Chain A
Amino acid sequence: MIMARYGEIALKGRNRYRFEDLLVDNVRRALHGLGPATIQKTYGRVFISDVDTVPATQRLARVFGLVSLSPVWVLPRDMDAIKARAVAMTSGHAPGTFKVQARRSYKEFPYDSPAINRAVGAHVLEHAPGWSVDVHRPDLVINVEVRQEGVFLFSESVPGPGGLPVGMTGRAVLLLSGGIDSPVAGWMALKRGLELAAVHFHSFPYTGERSREKVVDLGRVLAGYAGSINLYINHFTDIQKAIVESCPHHLTVILMRRMMMRLADRIAEREGALALVTGESLGQVASQTLESIVVTNAVAGRPVLRPLISFDKVEIVDRAQAIGTYHISIRPYEDCCTLFVPRHPVTAPRQEQVAAAEQALDMETLIAGSLERTERVILAAGDAEDWQR
């Protein structure tokens, strides 16, 4: 059995039940294919039984809303069994300090909590050589919970990702490149309970099959956290060419960004999404100065969420490594061919200047043509592999 604790959502007053139901649904979806999985919730905790504990723990570590996970031994209400298991629990660790922390909700049990602490503690001291008691800063906490349904023993816990259950706060569209930042931004949006669709701007033949595959792989990692993700692969080539062929060279990047916003907006419409999410970080590149953000933001028909806006690059890289997208993002296939990017892109574009340059484009035809050649791929959680070399 696995015990999963959830945090923040327990605080949400009357909506609590809706949130808990969503969390239980997400837990069930994450465990798909691992067995019948019996899931029970109690206040602040979800108990999961009838699954293979090791893979189940790995998957649950990606379910937002869960704060920690512990494997649990379920024992009969028998002091000798409790003592024996407590000693066994020390064996996987180098000897150090421990404490026993008992809780008795089933009051018929003849020992109260302090008595359980004493009896189990004394037994461990006697039978686990090298271990000593430290009630303040123990290396190992042996939790003993005496309940109606039996005695639960658990110790170390794996941290969960925290946050809110995916789907709790609404739906958004992520602009997903093959880079390091946007997958992290997507992960952070999921963490705050957003359900995501993603759009990638592909400019074949300037970018190739392998850069497409890279984005699909990134989407799969995110689907491991999200449950599933609709990934739209947009045909961006003709728009890119039109911009390069008929607009001032130094505005290429900002004009492309505005077209991406417009396309993402249309896809958000189709997906019923209320916001867009980007991986922008203030000042990181020319298209992410405040001036540039103002100009791109102006064409979005809905709020643009930028979870990484104040992150440093090293912080983003750390997070990318932790969530498992970094090793994919650094594959050497570019997502936006540098052929199109001028050597000195404008860093402080003005709205009128950019809008005037766009007059040269047949906007509606370009957008409609590009959306028509947009492909949708549905990525499911089970597709994510932790394969890496």
Chain B
Amino acid sequence: MPEAYLDNSATTRVWPEVVETMCRIHSEEYGNPSSLHARGLAAERLVRDARRELAGVVGCSPGEIFFTSGGTEANNWAIFGLSRARQARGNRIVSTAIEHPSVLVPLQLLEEQGFEVILLPVDHRGELEMARLEDALTPGTILVCVMAVNNEIGSVHDLEAISAMVRSLSPHAAIHVDAVQALAKLPLPPPGLVETMSFSAHKLHGPKGTGALYVREGTRLLPLLLGGEQEGKLRAGTENVAGIAGMAQAARLSWERGQDTRRLKLQLAKGLEAIAGFNVNGPAPGGGAPHILNAYFEDVPRGEVLVHALASRGVYVSTGSACHSRRDGPSHVLKAMGMKGPALTGAVRFSLGAATTAGEIELAVDATTLAVDEVKIRRGGRK
């Protein structure tokens, strides 16, 4: 059966070239970068080259890239590391209601520990209202956390405008950007606009278990993991050499190969529009991120039913986000946008990647047309 994998915001297939690189490193260039001998040196060079390559894609200098175990660690580290380093200058942290749980849960912990955490609401498109941000920013604000691209609905925050506002109203605040869904998909903000940015390899056809944090030069950040001198003494632990090399290569390849994504998303939206009851959550398909389309159909009140029906036709998508699919209760993002009824419980996320083809989009449109018809319930019963 032909397949269409449109769950790329959950995770992606690793590029074959990246698999090859990682296999070679695991089996042949397996040294520890900290070792004094030649094998150690060779491994250190691999990490150095990867840092340079990733910095090229991010648009920063190599010294500003710190490798982590993934996006979750990068978000946790930035939040704890920045807030604790700035504790003396203030107590307020400003973020949004639609952040990823790896941001929201650390913020919740900081709130329990005495920080004042403000979560800004979003409008019905999932976009931040600048006036709300303006009201929330105070001189005592020490951290502002906003995601570049929302993982469920693909809304995009205007980081240049946010940064300018934060700098003028909260001079002591650091800005952390969760850019997990943005790297290699959208141009990132110019270097220096924010203090930290988190990235994940497996969202861009790289391996799971690898990520990175951009830390602007001169930013004070306390480490999260202790016990080794790696990554400039800021992130202890033997480097995941193969993962790091794989991430950098994958980021570059995805950026080069993903230029068609927006066109494919529009093709998808156009195809789905022909299905009765089709609607979009979040930005209109022409706007927002190029790779995420959150949709629902009036006659399909439960997203997971459509997910199952599509899977049986070889089409893989998510309800809301992959993390929510396994949990009770509707998406916090859609709730924050004020969604109700089928828009809330029937939402399905189609997410594209740099490897997505026009054939997959065609297959997905055909399968969705049939699946929506299969699963809608015609109530013929008398009361």
Contacts and interface: CB of A to CB of B under 8 A. Distances in A.
Interface of A: 204-210, 241, 244-250, 252, 332, 337, 339-340
B379 A244 contact: yes
Contacts of B305: 205-206, 337, 339
Contact of B308 (A205, A241, A247, A340): A205
B380 A209 contact: no
Interface stretch (B165-173, B210-218, B370-378): B370-378
B341 to A, nearest CB: 14
A268 to B, nearest CB: 29
A241 B381 contact: no
Given A337-B302, A339-B305, 9 more contacts: A209-B308, A244-B377, A244-B381, A245-B377, A245-B381, A246-B380, A249-B379, A249-B381, A332-B326
Nearest to A331: B326
A331 to B, nearest CB: 9
Contact of B375 (A205, A209, A247, A248): A205
A248 B381 contact: yes
Contacts of A210: 326
Nearest to A208: B308
A70 to B, nearest CB: 43
A342 to B, nearest CB: 9
A245 B307 contact: no
B37 interface: no
B378 A204 contact: no
Contacts of B378: 244-245
A239 to B, nearest CB: 14
A206 B377 CA distance: 11
Nearest to A340: B377
B284 interface: no
Contacts of B383: 248-250
A276 B144 CA distance: 61
B308 A248 contact: no
Contacts of B374: 205
Contacts of B380: 244-246
Contacts of B121: none
B382 A245 contact: no
Given A244-B381, A245-B381, A248-B381, A339 B307 contact: no
B300 to A, nearest CB: 10
B35 interface: no
Q: Which 8 A-B pairs have the closest CB atoms?
A: A205-B308, A205-B309, A208-B308, A245-B380, A249-B381, A332-B328, A248-B382, A248-B381
A204 B312 contact: yes
B311 interface: yes
A252 B309 CA distance: 23
Size category of the B interface is 20 to 34
A210 B325 CA distance: 11
B381 A206 contact: no
A245 B327 contact: no
A247 B379 CA distance: 9
Contacts of B306: 205
A172 B367 CA distance: 41
Given A332-B326, A332-B328, A206 B379 contact: no
B379 A209 contact: no
Interface in B299-318: 301-302, 304-309, 311-312
B304 A208 contact: yes
Contact of B302 (A204, A248, A252, A339): A339
A204 B308 contact: yes
B312 A247 contact: no
B331 to A, nearest CB: 15
Given A205-B312, A248-B382, A241 B304 contact: no
Given A246-B380, A248-B381, A206 B308 contact: yes
Interface in B74-100: none
Given A204-B312, A208-B308, A337-B302, A241 B377 contact: yes
19 contacts: A204-B312, A205-B305, A205-B306, A205-B374, A206-B305, A206-B375, A207-B308, A208-B311, A241-B377, A244-B377, A245-B377, A245-B380, A246-B380, A247-B381, A248-B382, A249-B381, A249-B382, A249-B383, A339-B302
Interface string B228-250: 00000000000000000000000
Contact of A339 (B301, B308, B382): B301
A335 B168 CA distance: 55
Contact of B381 (A207, A208, A246): A246
B109 to A, nearest CB: 22
Nearest to A252: B381
Contacts of B375: 205-206
B69 to A, nearest CB: 19
A332 B381 contact: no
B328 to A, nearest CB: 5
Contacts of B381: 244-249, 252
B56 to A, nearest CB: 40
Contacts of B309: 205
Nearest to B326: A332
A208 B307 CA distance: 9
Which has the most chain B C-beta neighbours within 10 Å: A204, A208, A246, A247?
Answer: A208
B308 A332 contact: no
A290 to B, nearest CB: 25
A209 B311 contact: yes
